Structure 1
């Protein structure tokens, strides 16, 4: 997560959390995956910065509007977590093509379909075919993006950006203030896309508070 030789991460195992619990932990800089919350605790390093978008103030940029136009035929459905063989196919393809990683079914189910907190998923369809899937947690004041996967045959659609735009829109429609994007590391190119969604706030570890990002 940071450039130190020995990364230090604090873990919290949690189950049966409610929306208030989720919001509290996210507001303190924790990040959730499966049944675990984690938080960087590297000495003298604060490169991993939690960021969140203010949903009701967000306006898409010119390039983001082009992305929306490109995906005008992509249908989006939000609903409860629901496993499918097609979803697993997408996960395997995404893991292999994007990160050269192999995965198995048990890992997929335990990581995404064994919720310890209020959760939902976003589904992306083109001509009736599922081509992308997002996993989110729901707090009392926010939606938090856990992970997004897509069929890499459709990389040209920019589905990663499209999913964030639609999930921010859904956050706003639910009357929630924040869309949480997880950690941002300025020098990590893979995370650079998170800098494109504003206005946003970042968590100041030393001050233990959220601040507006310039």
Structure 2
């Protein structure tokens, strides 16, 4: 186990912010050669770090603290009326769990999702190499939670195991099935899975006030936000 006080961190040069227009961003990365076990990774998650592929990172922008880490205390969460409808609408879906891997079926679903939902972002155009580096290359306990309608793959939630919960790394789903609200359903199922593992928290990554792409995260109440180094309970 590496002592967090001995870790080295590297900051990127400034680059255009992916979330807020006309902003510049910097990112702080943990030394990729450091040997991080689950305990280290869990501690870093509580400090606001996230994983993307093999990299552990946190925003480190000059004069900006818009990116706020968010997590759901799952034992306090109760779905609202709309969320209960989403659960009922999708109760015919089957979940299958696997280790991270590449398949044509997984990649084609990912490709359709990125092309339909994020063609204006820095993940477009998708490629098999991007899929591999982003979702498969993990040094941690990662699982693909795959949702099937009969035998058709319709959504995948990628999650990491932490000591104190699960971390929702990424979710992609069939864009032509908007009527099912698969993105909402995936989070609701991830909350259930976290409870089943007897963990208190589901980590959702960053929430940014004023960013439409991040707005959905505060629909799951209560939520906790990491503000000035402290997890603050927000809204029941």
TM bucket by the smaller chain?
Answer: over 0.9
Task: Report whether the alignment pairs 1:81 with 2:104.
Answer: no
Corresponding residue of 1:118: 141
In the alignment, the residues of structure 2 paired with residue 3 and residue 97 of structure 1 have an alpha-carbon distance, to the nearest angstrom, of: 21
Task: Report whether the alignment pairs 1:140 with 2:151.
Answer: no
**What aligned pairs does 1:43-54 form with structure 2 within 5 A after superposition?**
43-54=62-73
Corresponding residue of 1:158: 181
In the alignment, the residues of structure 1 paired with residue 102 and residue 130 of structure 2 have an alpha-carbon distance, to the nearest angstrom, of: 13
Q: Which structure 2 residue ranges, 5 or more long, are not aligned?
A: 1-18
Residues 16, 117 of structure 1: 8 Å contact kept: no
Offset at residue 213 of structure 1 (A): 1.3
TM-score by length of 1: 0.93
Residues 201, 212 of structure 1: 8 Å contact kept: yes
Residues 29, 50 of structure 1: 8 Å contact kept: yes
In the alignment, the residues of structure 1 paired with residue 110 and residue 230 of structure 2 have an alpha-carbon distance, to the nearest angstrom, of: 35
In the alignment, the residues of structure 1 paired with residue 27 and residue 180 of structure 2 have an alpha-carbon distance, to the nearest angstrom, of: 35
**Cα 1:17–1:119, aligned 2, differ >3 Å: closer, same or farther?**
farther
Corresponding residue of 2:29: 11
TM-score by length of 2: 0.85
**Which range moved further: 159-168 or 1-10?**
1-10
Partner deviation per Cα, 1:3-59 (whole Å, 9 max, x = no partner): 563212212244653321221111001111101122111222211100000011111
**Cα 1:46–1:3, aligned 2, differ >3 Å: closer, same or farther?**
farther
In the alignment, the residues of structure 1 paired with residue 165 and residue 177 of structure 2 have an alpha-carbon distance, to the nearest angstrom, of: 29
SS at structure 1 position matched to 2:64: coil
Measured on the aligned residues, the alpha-carbon RMSD in Å equals 1.5
Corresponding residue of 1:40: 59
Corresponding residue of 2:220: 197
**Cα 1:89–1:16, aligned 2, differ >3 Å: closer, same or farther?**
farther
Residues 121, 135 of structure 1: 8 Å contact kept: yes
Task: Report whether the alignment pairs 1:209 with 2:230.
Answer: yes
**Cα 1:202–1:87, aligned 2, differ >3 Å: closer, same or farther?**
same
Q: Which structure 1 residue ranges, 5 or more long, are not aligned?
A: none
SS at structure 2 position matched to 1:96: helix
**Cα 1:54–1:40, aligned 2, differ >3 Å: closer, same or farther?**
same
**Which range moved further: 78-87 or 9-18?**
9-18
